[in-house]
Structures are given as structure tokens and as C-alpha cells.
Amino acid sequence: MTIQQYQKKCSKEYLKSIKFPKENTYLYGNPVQAVLPIETAIGKIMIIGPQPAAKLYFVDDIPDVPLYDATAPFSIEPYHDGSRVRSSYTGQELSEVILETLEIPREKCWLTTLIKVFLFDEDHVKKYHRLGKKIEANRKHYTEYALKSMPWIRQEIEIANPKAILLLGPQVISSLLLIPEKEAMDLITGEVVEKKIIWKNSNFICLPPPGVIMERSARNPWPRKFTLQIGPKAAAEIRRLEAQPSI
């Protein structure tokens, strides 16, 4: 299957395959749709996040209201949210923190998410209710949607044939490696974890979840741990894997 064939198939079939409710829409009725991988380097580095972000806007003095799908996973496309020019936090963190630390240019990456639709959390529900629209939080169904999304991510891995696969956060690590989330947290070290996916062993590197590395506070250990330990170790592992001959 080619990249274009996969994108077309995923666009048409993904929502039905995970039994995603058709009535889930954004504030103004825009449908929640699959966000497809657009940056798709073959034989390089694959990065898998938990789910796509949405474009967030300032609506009736309420900040960060999700209104539209992102254009792509980890998009850094700038847009005006009604108050200022911004881009996705996850896209910023990936480019400005993770890829910079690992010394990987975006053009060498296959960027994707395990779940390919935006999921609303309780905070989004409260904001929508204030704006006169009732929705239900569906972030709680993450594990269910992740399990149903596994055939899609396996297809992507087969097409991408990456040297290394970076898994962002315990939910993604748990789903891909078939382990409890508590055990997944222990694997966030930057070291390679080998597991057979499709027809050969894949090299997984487990990293912190999106957002936490940019959140600077005394109670958040992840920025320091990533800078001093996890990031340098992951960078060394990636250099080692890139030096190996392709299969």
C-alpha cells in the first residue's frame, strides 16, 4: 500500500472502523474528522502521539475553545485565534523541544497519532456548555478507540519502515507495547525497547507525553529530566540506529 492509498483509505474508513459517533461536532457544527499523517518520511523516524490537537479559539471571552480539526498531526501552522497568532502546543513542543534536543529535522519524520480524531475532555465540555452547546466528554473512551486504531497504526509502520519509533506518553506506550500504563511510565527513559510489530522487530523509544516538557513549574520534573537524561539518551540511541544498515 502506498502513502496516498493509505491516506485515502483512512480518510474514508477510519471513523466507522472505531465506531466514532457521527453526531460529534464542534461548536458551530463542523464535523470531527480523521486527521491524517501528512509529513511522511520513509525509512527514517516515526513519531506517534496520543491524538491530534484541535485548533483552539477565543470565543465570547472564553479562551482555548476547540473549533476545527488540525490540518495534520503536530501541525505548526500559524493561525489567529481571535486574540493572537498561535499554533498547536503539541506541534511547538515537538519542533522546539523534542526534535531540537534529538537533532532530528522534521523532514526526516513520519508524524502521526495513535487515535486520529480529536477527543473532548471535561474542560472542553464546560466551555461548550457556557457557549450554549451540549456535548459529552469522549476522552474517557481513549483506551477503546486506541485498541480499534491499532490496525491503522500497524499499516503506517509497515509503510514507513522506520529506523526508530518514538512513542509520546504512557497511553501510546501502553497501547503499542501491550503493557499497563504504570509499567509504560517506567519505560520513559530514552532507551530503545524492541518489540515485534508486523514482520520484524521494531525499535521503540519512549518519551514524555505531549505538553509536559514545555510546562515549567517546580512540581513538574519532566522538563529537567528530558533535558538532562531522557533527551540525550534518546539522541544517542537514534544515532546508533541510523548508523545501522537498512533491512
Q: What average pLDDT does this structure show over 153-173?
A: 95
Q: For position 198, what pLDDT does the model report?
A: 65
What is the per-residue pLDDT across 110-122, written as a single tens digit (0 to 9) for each?
999 999 999 999 9
What is the per-residue pLDDT across 70-99, written as a single tens digit (0 to 9) for each?
999 999 999 999 999 998 888 888 988 899
The three three-digit cell numbers of residue 5, written as one number: 492509498
Whether pLDDT at 194 is above 90: no
Distances (CA, A) of 112 to 36, 75, 218: 7, 10, 31
What pTM was computed for the model? 0.93
User: Across the chain, what does the average pLDDT equal?
Assistant: 92
Of the pLDDT bands very low, low, confident and very high (cuts 50, 70, 90), residue 212 is confident
Of the pLDDT bands very low, low, confident and very high (cuts 50, 70, 90), residue 140 is very high
Whether pLDDT at 150 is above 90: yes
Burial 15-25 (b: 16+ CB within 10 A, else e): bebbebeeebe
Q: For position 247, what pLDDT does the model report?
A: 58
Domain range list for the chain: 3-242
Q: For position 174, what pLDDT does the model report?
A: 94
Among 108, 115, 57, 52, residue whose Cα is nearest residue 81 = 57
Would you say domain 3-242 falls under CATH 3.40.470.10? yes
Of the pLDDT bands very low, low, confident and very high (cuts 50, 70, 90), residue 199 is low
Q: What average pLDDT does this structure show over 21-29?
A: 89
Q: For position 106, what pLDDT does the model report?
A: 94
